[in-house]
Amino acid sequence: MSMVADTSVPVSARRPRKLPVEASILAVLVGIALIFELLGWTLRGQSFLGNPSRLLIIILQVSIVGLLAVGVTQVIITTGIDLSSGSVLALSAMVAASLAQESDYARAVYPGLGDLPILIPVAAGLLVGALAGLCNGTLVTLGRLPPFIATLGMMVTARGLARYYTHGQPISMLTDKFTAIGGGANPVLIFLVVAAIFHVALRYTRYGKYTYAIGGNMQAARVSGINVTRHLMLVYTIAGGLSGLAGIIMAARATSGQAGMGMSYELDAIAAAVIGGTSLSGGIGRITGTVIGTLILGVMTSGFTFLGVDAYIQDIVKGLIIIAAVMADQFRRKRRSI
Amino acid sequence: MSAALLPDAPAAPDGFVLEVLDVSKQFPGVKALDRINLRLRPGSVHALMGENGAGKSTLMKIIAGGIRPSSGEIRIKGVRQDFQAPADAMRCGIAMIHQELNLVPHMTVSENIWVGREPRRFGFVDHGALRRRTVDLLERFGIALDPDVEVASLAVANQQMVEIAKAVSYEPDILIMDEPTSSLTEQEVQHLFTIIRRLRDQGRAIVYISHKMSEIFAIADEVSVFRDGAHVATGLASDFTQKSLIGLMVGRELTHMFPKATVELGEVVLRASGLTLPGVFRDVSFELRRGEILGFAGLIGAGRTNVAEALYGVTPAASGSIEIDGAPARIRSPTDAKKHGMAFLTEDRKASGLFLMLSVLENMQIASVADYCRGGFVRQDALSEASEGMRQALQVKTPDMDTMIENLSGGNQQKVLIARWLMTAPRILILDEPTRGIDVGAKSEIHRLMSELVLKGLSIIMVSSELPEILGMSDRVVVMQEGRVAGILDRTEATQERIMELAAR
């Protein structure tokens, strides 16, 4: 720019533009995939990546967690956390499934109910999720609870509600129209569309500007005239709604609603966001990073299974990678503050 | 000086327990202390006086080992010392009571006093001994406190007494007290004075920092006056009068030109009546006219910032009313205030102004994003153009608008924040310490800008701790003292002496 000549700020102080943050995360993803490719040839004599159906399965498996991760990324950007997403997923799955049962099924949750339009179970699932999210948001803002505690409470409560709803009985015999939501590559499509929507929302809308501002400096955001309380409620409600959506898809895919669904998915979602470069100190994070972070988790799970690695060892390695991601974040911030 | 010295507090042959010799302290861009000399006698209370920012606290932090001097030396009992940390100063018999309390709320009184020095028995804390020591200490100084009660449950004044007991428990030769009476009632102040006199009679040296004239003359043996980082006078307290002290504290020429334009004042745009927030400020009333710069002067803690925050809805007043353009305005949050055309540049740039991890552009536009939206989408081109215009108007020096704001100098950061507010087209601008910690050049640019703004019909409320700035820029000055309006002075009658008299009463 033409301004450069008349300033005294050293060139090095400028924001580095060469590579977006995602590039390094993408490199990690590619690196991990290549390691599995190499190990695949040496240990099993076959290709890891050269199998299109495996790649689709990877994305299919992560799209549920991915939806949760898109929600929790936004919450973490505001310096919050959402531990309830896995449980809210289950509760929404139960409610949606109960309204999507075949009308002639004798042991339906609501036996008198006729065939409902597909919109009803979907709307109900989304609504349950959004309400749980609004509840989180209210506890955090008006209730002044730390987000960790508020969403921990919701995590336990929503799981309890999901179990209480049918006293632990699974809800099966769902209509074909409903189960079609989870059929084929639909979950992947929904995940990618949702991710794209929130990528744009965070980057190009007022909603996004306010989200980053609140995470960067809540007090300054408040003084700048941003209604922080209302905005935080909105962010938590959106995260809850996305958990609801994930619940609908999971029930449709499994052709049943089960109270134990999405167990500890909230941790995978948080891990995906953090691996993707979202800072737990708030103000930093992008949906593209989160999507890549989700894929990293998916590739690892798939790769370890492909190599026949013990499931327990999988968890150990996953844990180490999460720690490495957070350490990288700390290192980045330390370097920035010098 | 006739007090008998304790055997464990021997003085150097020349009789000084502490000597500060030619100490200077340079902070980036500011010379906080300029070749300071100070000598403390054992068995004497030495008061330090000076305006906010005169350098008293910096000097005390150097003596207590909190920061290191840029040049000069400190001698304790004639021996040169180079403190690396507060622990070094403590070992040399220096204890300090800070203005802010440094207690652990959920520990008991005795645990707080002896934290880190607990008496032990077989590796475990000996609670019996801990309690005995505390009871003994509190009795010795006539402090009526239960040693087993949690500090959090005590009133602030009693917490202050715990702080004092803790400092005394180190048996220091030199005890520094930085405004120890700010939260004490008159009776408690008298009790504190009794304790101070007892310590003095034991041969200890006490440094006493306070803005309250009456206290200085009641307790101090010697007084030193500081101004703008320089030491201006030292003498026996009996040699000074209140008037001569004020004269020494403010007796500086106006070194900067203030480009205050004469503006015809218009109608009243804001009227505050009886604003009260219990324990913080009370019955604050004033008017702000169109085109006026209304200065708020007073000592730190007088409640000026709190009043500004109440006007802007950050922490609304509990009672009283605000009228804008003659109509009652209900301002319960910054969002409300903004709707009424108000803008608020906060005192602490880092804490409540800047988004350090965002760019200059993003910092500048955040308050006006909503005005540049269509269907929720930000019209970034229009917004960037407006921001660029503002950057040029305010001459913000930055390589480009995408530079991270933390890489700008303090003065340029401040200009970005002012630009943020001007982009909302405010009518009432509240500036809290608008030029604190920025260089002289940026300072005068901000002053010139303020002048231009009021010419255009804006009204400005300016909170400032710098008297020259208050006098140079204000049409009228509201002087606050301990949460109330002590007086409102017209530009023609406002002098440094008048303001200090009202502020320090």
Domain residue limits, chain B = 23-93+171-250, 268-503
Give the whole-angstrom CA distance, residue B293 versus residue B462.
7
- Least confident piece of the model among A8-12, A180-184, B338-342, B475-479: A8-12
Calculate how close chain A gets to B504, using CA atoms only, in Å: 31
User: Read out DSSP for A11-48?
Assistant: GGGSPP-SS-HHHHHHHHHHHHHHHHHHHIIIIISS-S
Angle at B239 between CA B235 and CA B244, to 5 degrees: 95
pLDDT class of A336 with cuts at 50, 70, 90 = low
Chain A environment of B424 (Cβ under 8 Å):
225
- Centre a 10 Å sphere on the Cβ of residue A159 and count the other Cβ atoms it contains: 22
Chain A environment of B404 (Cβ under 8 Å):
13, 15
Q: Are A88 and A154 in contact (CB under 8 A)?
A: yes
Q: Are A124 and A95 in contact (CB under 8 A)?
A: yes
Specify which residues B295 forms β-bridges with. Answer: B462, B477
Q: Are B178 and B98 in contact (CB under 8 A)?
A: yes
Any residues with CB less than 8 A from the CB of B2 and at least 6 apart, and which? none
Contact across the interface for A222 and B334, Cβ inside 8 Å: yes
**What b/e string do you get for A50-85 counting C-beta neighbours within 10 Å, with b at 16 or more?**
eeeebbeebbbbbbbbbbbbbbbbbbbbbbbbbbbb
Q: Where are the beta strands (DSSP E) in B214-335?
A: 222-227, 230-236, 268-277, 281-289, 293-298, 319-324, 327-329
| Angle between helix A119-141 and A228-254 (nearest 10) | 140
Q: Are B347 and B305 in contact (CB under 8 A)?
A: yes
Distant-in-sequence contacts of B230-236, Cβ < 8 A, 24+ apart: B230/B34, B230/B35, B230/B36, B230/B55, B231/B36, B231/B37, B231/B38, B234/B38
Contact across the interface for B369 and A206, Cβ inside 8 Å: yes
Residue A260, pLDDT above cutoff 90: yes
Between A258 and A114, where is the model more confident? A258
Give the whole-angstrom CA distance, residue B371 versus residue B363.
15
Calculate how close chain A gets to B376, using CA atoms only, in Å: 6
Residue ranges of alpha helices (H) inside B7-91 are 56-63, 86-91
- Residue A334, pLDDT score: 63
Distant-in-sequence contacts of B482-489, Cβ < 8 A, 24+ apart: B482/B301, B482/B302, B482/B303, B483/B279, B483/B280, B483/B281, B483/B282, B483/B302, B483/B303, B483/B306, B484/B281, B484/B282, B484/B283, B484/B284, B484/B303, B485/B283, B485/B284, B485/B285, B485/B286, B486/B298, B488/B286
Residue A2, pLDDT above cutoff 70: no
Any residues with CB less than 8 A from the CB of A334 and at least 6 apart, and which? none
Closest C-alpha among B207, B277, B294 to residue B17: B207
- Residue A3, pLDDT score: 38
- Residue A19, pLDDT score: 60
Mutation target for B interface from A217, A231, A281: give the one with most B CBs within 10 A.
A217
- Residue A261, pLDDT score: 96
Residue A10, pLDDT above cutoff 50: no
Calculate how close chain B gets to A290, using CA atoms only, in Å: 19
A9: nearest CB among B373, B398, B424: B398
Maximum distance among all alpha carbons in chain A? 80
B366: nearest CB among A205, A224, A227: A224
Q: Are B19 and B92 in contact (CB under 8 A)?
A: no
* Mean pLDDT within A176-194: 94
Rounded to the nearest angstrom, the gap between the alpha carbon of residue B281 and the centroid of all alpha carbons in its chain is 17
Nearest CA in chain B to A200: B377
- Centre a 10 Å sphere on the Cβ of residue A315 and count the other Cβ atoms it contains: 11
Give the whole-angstrom CA distance, residue B349 versus residue B25.
23
Residue A216, pLDDT above cutoff 90: yes
Calculate how close chain A gets to B104, using CA atoms only, in Å: 21
Contact across the interface for A1 and B400, Cβ inside 8 Å: yes
Q: What is the rounded average pLDDT for all residues in chain A? A: 89
Local structure of A5: helix, strand or coil: helix
A206: nearest CB among B335, B359, B376: B376
Give the whole-angstrom CA distance, residue B23 versus residue B71.
6
Q: Do domains B23-93+171-250 and B268-503 have the same CATH topology?
A: yes
- What's the alpha-carbon Rg for chain A, to the nearest Å? 21
> Would you list which residues of chain B are within 8 Å, Cβ to Cβ, of chain A?
312, 314, 333-335, 337-338, 344, 346, 351-359, 362, 365-367, 369-370, 373, 376-378, 380, 397-400, 402-404, 407-408, 420, 424
Calculate how close chain A gets to B445, using CA atoms only, in Å: 17
Local structure of B119: helix, strand or coil: coil
Rounded to the nearest angstrom, the gap between the alpha carbon of residue B159 and the centroid of all alpha carbons in its chain is 21
- Residue A50, pLDDT score: 86
B116: left (phi over 0), alpha (psi -120 to 50) or beta: left
Chain A environment of B408 (Cβ under 8 Å):
9
Contact across the interface for A223 and B344, Cβ inside 8 Å: yes
DSSP B202: T
Chain B environment of A77 (Cβ under 8 Å):
none
For residue B414 the two structure tokens come to 């401040």
Closest C-alpha among B438, B442, B362, B437 to residue B394: B442
Any residues with CB less than 8 A from the CB of B95 and at least 6 apart, and which? B64, B167, B168, B170, B172, B174, B175, B176
Distant-in-sequence contacts of B393-399, Cβ < 8 A, 24+ apart: B393/B419, B394/B418, B394/B419, B394/B422, B394/B445, B394/B449, B395/B445, B396/B360, B397/A6, B397/A7, B397/A8, B397/A9, B398/A3, B398/A7, B398/A9, B398/B360, B399/A1, B399/A3, B399/A4, B399/A7, B399/A9, B399/A11, B399/A13, B399/A14
Mutation target for A interface from B305, B348, B358: give the one with most A CBs within 10 A.
B358
Distances (CA, A) of B11 to A75, B93, B174, B177, B300: 62, 12, 11, 21, 36
Chain B environment of A205 (Cβ under 8 Å):
373, 376-378
Closest C-alpha among A277, A323, A338 to residue A77: A277
Nearest CA in chain A to B352: A220
Class of domain B268-503: alpha beta
Give the whole-angstrom CA distance, residue B356 versus residue B360.
9
Calculate how close chain A gets to B53, using CA atoms only, in Å: 25
Calculate how close chain A gets to B458, using CA atoms only, in Å: 19
Q: Are A158 and A87 in contact (CB under 8 A)?
A: yes
Chain B environment of A213 (Cβ under 8 Å):
355, 358, 362, 366
A216: nearest CB among B358, B365, B403: B358
* Backbone CA torsion sign across B337, B340, B344, B350: positive
Query: Order of strands, edge to edge, in the sheet holding B18-27?
Result: B30-40, B18-27, B71-76, B79-81
Q: Are B208 and B174 in contact (CB under 8 A)?
A: no
Mutation target for A interface from B311, B315, B357: give the one with most A CBs within 10 A.
B357
Any residues with CB less than 8 A from the CB of A47 and at least 6 apart, and which? A37, A40, A41
Chain B environment of A204 (Cβ under 8 Å):
377-378, 380
For residue A87 the two structure tokens come to 């449980």
B399: nearest CB among A3, A216, A225: A3
What topology does CATH give the domain A51-331?
ABC transporter involved in vitamin B12 uptake, BtuC (1.10.3470)
> Would you list which residues of chain A are within 8 Å, Cβ to Cβ, of chain B?
1, 3-4, 6-9, 11, 13-15, 17, 204-207, 209-210, 212-213, 216-217, 219-227, 283-284, 336
A171: left (phi over 0), alpha (psi -120 to 50) or beta: beta
Contact across the interface for A223 and B353, Cβ inside 8 Å: yes
* Mean pLDDT within A71-99: 97
- What's the alpha-carbon Rg for chain B, to the nearest Å? 25
Residue B439 identity (one-letter amino acid)? D
Closest C-alpha among A180, B173, B174, B175 to residue B163: B175
For residue A119 the two structure tokens come to 């919109």
Mutation target for B interface from A223, A281, A284, A335: give the one with most B CBs within 10 A.
A223
For residue A262 the two structure tokens come to 């999405």
Chain A environment of B442 (Cβ under 8 Å):
none
Calculate how close chain B gets to A335, using CA atoms only, in Å: 13
- Length of chain B in terms of residues written: 505
**What b/e string do you get for B430-452 counting C-beta neighbours within 10 Å, with b at 16 or more?**
bbbbbbbbbbeebbebbbebbbe
Calculate how close chain A gets to B318, using CA atoms only, in Å: 19
For residue A59 the two structure tokens come to 């994305």
For residue B245 the two structure tokens come to 């002290």
For residue A23 the two structure tokens come to 């590039």
Low-confidence ranges of chain B (pLDDT < 50): 1-13, 253-255
Chain B environment of A210 (Cβ under 8 Å):
369
* Backbone CA torsion sign across B464, B466, B467, B468: negative
Residue in the structure block whose two tokens are 């499934």: A97
B354: nearest CB among A8, A13, A220: A220
Between A66 and B2, where is the model more confident? A66
- Residue B29, pLDDT score: 58
- Residue B257, pLDDT score: 60
Give the whole-angstrom CA distance, residue A4 versus residue B505.
52
Nearest CA in chain A to B339: A225
**pLDDT tens across A187-200, in order?**
999 999 999 999 99
Distances (CA, A) of B151 to B110, B132, B136, B168: 9, 18, 18, 17
User: Read out DSSP for A144-191?
Assistant: ---HHHHHHHHHHHHHHHHHHHTTT--B--B-HHHHGGGSTTHHHHHH
What topology does CATH give the domain B23-93+171-250?
Rossmann fold (3.40.50)
Closest C-alpha among B173, B176, B170 to residue B204: B173
- Residue A87, pLDDT score: 98
- Residue B5, pLDDT score: 39
A219: nearest CB among B335, B352, B377: B352
B366: nearest CB among A1, A209, A336: A209
- Residue B152, pLDDT score: 86
For residue B176, which phi and psi values (nearest 5 degrees)?
-105, 125
